[in-house]
A and B are shown apart, each in its own frame.
Chain A
Amino acid sequence: MSEEPVGIVSYGAYVPRYRIAPAEIGAVWGADGEAMGKGLGVFRKSVPAPDEDTITISTEALRQALARGRISPQSIGALYVGSESHPYAVKPTATVVAQAVGATPYLTAADFEFACKAGTAAIQTCMGLVKSRMITYGVAIGSDTSQGAPGDALEYSASAGGAAFIIGRERLLAEINATESFTTDTPDFWRREGQRYPSHGGRFTGEPAFFRHVGECGRRMMERMEMTPKDYRHVVFHQPNGKFPQRIGKTLGFTDEQMRYGLVTPYLGNTYSGAALLGLANVLDHADPGDRVLVVGYGSGAGSDAFDLTVSDRIHQFDRQGPRIQEFLDGGTPLNYALYAKFRGKIHLGGS
C-alpha cells in the first residue's frame, strides 16, 4: 500500500478500582450467581465510585495516553468520546474531557453514540481526518459506566471502564492497515430516552445480532486483506461477556492463544464502549514488532467495525507509564451488594 500510513500513536486506559463478584449479586436476587457468572464467563466486574462517570473515566484514560506519548494536548485536532452512558443527555462529554486535558479551544469535539461500538466508530472518524491531513492527532475514546436493571442478567456483567487512542500519521505504535464495517437495523438491545435501564431482546442478542455482525465483518476484513486467522498473532472481539467472543473466535478459526490478551471481560465485566478497546490496549501491552492484530467491535442496533493492524518497531520503546491493563485485571477493592447498590445510585433518597 502506497498510501500514507495512519495508526495508533499512543493509548491509555482507566478502570475504576471497585469490583463485585456474580455470587454476591445472585445472593440478593435468590439466584445462583456463581453459576450465572460461569455461564457468562464473567468472574467479577468493575464498579465505578459514586464520583466517577464516563467523563472522569475518559479524562483519566486520555491523560495517560498523552503522558505516555509525550503529546501536547494543544496538538489534538479532534476529540470524540463514544459511550452509551454520557452523563448529560444534552451537553457533550467531549468538551469537559478536552478542557480537563488542556486541549481546548482549537479543536473539534463531539460525542459518539452507537451502543458498544461508538469508540471504534470514533477511531474510524479520526483515521479519515488524519489521512486527509485535516488534523495532526485525533483522539478516540470508548468509555462507559453502564447499568443493568437490578436482578436482570445484564446486572452480572455491566461494568465501567474506558480506553483512549491517539490516532496520527507519525511515530506509530501500530499501523492501521485497513478498516471495515457491517451495519444493519437490528433491534437486539436499546434504551429509550428517559429510561434508567436498557432493554434487550434476550436470546435475540445472539445469533442475528452479535454473531452475524461480528462474523460477517471479521470475514470481510480478512478477505480484503487476503489474510487467514493463522496470520494474526492477536485477535480482539467485542466482549459483552466472556463467552460470546470465545464462540465467534472459534467459529472464525482463531485459537485461545490468539484471544488470550484481547479478552478482558472475564475480569472486568462488560465495559460496553470500552470493551474491545481495553482488549486492544491489553494486546498492545504485550505485543511485539511485526505482530498482526485483528479487532472486531460490535454495537447493538447493530453494527461491527473491524481493524487490521501491524505493530511497529516503536512498541518496545513505548513508555507505558501508569497502570497497565494487567493491573486492572488483577482486581481491586471488593464490594458487597449493599455498597454496590449505594455506589450505583440504586438506593433512592428522600423520595427522589
Chain B
Amino acid sequence: MTIARFWRETPQRYNLGGSRCSSCGSAFFPPRAVCPTCPEHRRSLGKMEPLQLSGEGEVYSFTVVHDPAEGFEMQVPYVLALVKTPEGPILTGQVVDVLPAEVHVGLRVQATFRKLREEGKSGVIHYGYKFAVAREEGREPVAPEGESVPEPRREGPRPART
C-alpha cells in the first residue's frame, strides 16, 4: 500500500472514525460519502455525519491464519475476526494477545492500537486498530511458570498516618 493511501485512511485506522446517515440512521465503517441504504442515494449526499466508534464489540465470526501475509510471520498462528460493534458496522481485525483456542463467537473484544505492518527495515511503520479480549471477559492473569518467588503484595493493612 502506498504511503499516501495509508495516510489518507489514518483517521479511520487510528481512531475508528466512521459515518452515519442522518436521513436513515445507518452507520458505516469505513466512512461513506453516500448512503447505500437510502432509496435515493443522492439525497444522502452531504447528510453523512462523522461517527466515532467506541471500539467495543464482539466476535461475529473468525478464522485462524496459519499461512501468514507478508510481515505477519512472527505472529502465526493468529486470529482474524469479524467484530460486530454496538454502533452497527462489522469490522475486520486481528484479535491479539490470545490463543486461537480462547476465541469464540460472542467473545467480547475492545479495540487496541497496534503496529499493523512495517515497510521492511527502513520503511514506514503503519499503525492502526486491532482487537484485544475485553476486560469484562475477566481473564485471570497466569503467573509465569516456574516462578518460585513471593506473590505480589496484595492489599493489606495500611500504615497509621504520621
Q: Are A60 and B115 in contact (CB under 8 A)?
A: no
Q: Are A333 and B97 in contact (CB under 8 A)?
A: yes
Chain B proximity of A279: nearest CB distance (Å): 13
With A330-B141, A331-B144 in contact, is A51–B73 under 8 Å at CB? no
Q: Are A230 and B149 in contact (CB under 8 A)?
A: no
| Cα distance, A18 to B141, chains bound together (Å) | 10
Chain A proximity of B98: nearest CB distance (Å): 9
Identify which of B115, B147, B159 contacts A51 (C-beta below 8 A): B115
Chain A proximity of B101: nearest CB distance (Å): 13
Q: Are B147 and A43 in contact (CB under 8 A)?
A: yes
CB-nearest residue of chain B relative to A97?
A: B113
Interface residue? A213 (CB, 8 A): no
Chain B positions within 8 Å of A43 at CB level: 147, 149-150
CB-contacts of B107-157 with A (<8 A): 112-116, 121, 125, 127, 130, 132, 135, 141-150, 152-153
Q: Are B148 and A100 in contact (CB under 8 A)?
A: no
Q: Are A51 and B144 in contact (CB under 8 A)?
A: no
With A56-B115, A333-B97 in contact, is A23–B146 under 8 Å at CB? yes
Chain B positions within 8 Å of A23 at CB level: 146-148
Chain A proximity of B147: nearest CB distance (Å): 5
Interface size class of A (residues with CB under 8 A): 35 or more
With A49-B96, A230-B162, A323-B135 in contact, is A100–B144 under 8 Å at CB? no
Interface residue? B10 (CB, 8 A): yes
Q: Are A24 and B144 in contact (CB under 8 A)?
A: yes
Q: Are A99 and B159 in contact (CB under 8 A)?
A: no
Chain B proximity of A28: nearest CB distance (Å): 13
Interface residue? B1 (CB, 8 A): no
Chain A positions within 8 Å of B127 at CB level: 55-56, 96, 100
Interface residue? A1 (CB, 8 A): no
Q: Are A38 and B149 in contact (CB under 8 A)?
A: yes
Interface residue? B29 (CB, 8 A): no
Q: Are B113 and A333 in contact (CB under 8 A)?
A: no
Interface residue? A260 (CB, 8 A): yes
| Cα distance, A349 to B118, chains bound together (Å) | 15
Q: Are A44 and B147 in contact (CB under 8 A)?
A: yes
CB-contacts of A4-50 with B (<8 A): 16-21, 23-24, 34, 37-38, 43-44, 49-50
Interface residue? A207 (CB, 8 A): no
Q: Are B73 and A329 in contact (CB under 8 A)?
A: no
Q: Are B143 and A331 in contact (CB under 8 A)?
A: yes
Interface residue? B5 (CB, 8 A): no
Interface residue? A327 (CB, 8 A): yes
Chain A proximity of B94: nearest CB distance (Å): 8
Q: Are A21 and B153 in contact (CB under 8 A)?
A: no
Q: Are B142 and A51 in contact (CB under 8 A)?
A: no
| Cα distance, A267 to B161, chains bound together (Å) | 27
Interface residue? B60 (CB, 8 A): no
| Cα distance, A330 to B114, chains bound together (Å) | 23
Chain B proximity of A138: nearest CB distance (Å): 21
Interface residue? B37 (CB, 8 A): no
Chain B positions within 8 Å of A257 at CB level: 159
| Cα distance, A16 to B114, chains bound together (Å) | 11
Chain A positions within 8 Å of B114 at CB level: 49, 51-52, 56
Identify which of A24, A60, A88, A258 contacts B113 (C-beta below 8 A): A60
Identify which of A21, A56, A100 contacts B146 (C-beta below 8 A): A21
| Cα distance, A266 to B162, chains bound together (Å) | 27
Question: Nearest 4 A-B pairs (CB), nearest first?
Answer: A331-B141, A334-B144, A51-B114, A43-B149
- A residues touching B (Cβ–Cβ < 8 Å)? 16-21, 23-24, 34, 37-38, 43-44, 49-53, 55-56, 59-60, 63, 87-88, 96, 99-102, 230-231, 233, 257-258, 260, 266-267, 322-323, 326-327, 329-335, 342-343, 345, 349, 352
5 contacts between A and B (CB under 8 A): A23-B146, A23-B147, A49-B114, A50-B75, A60-B112
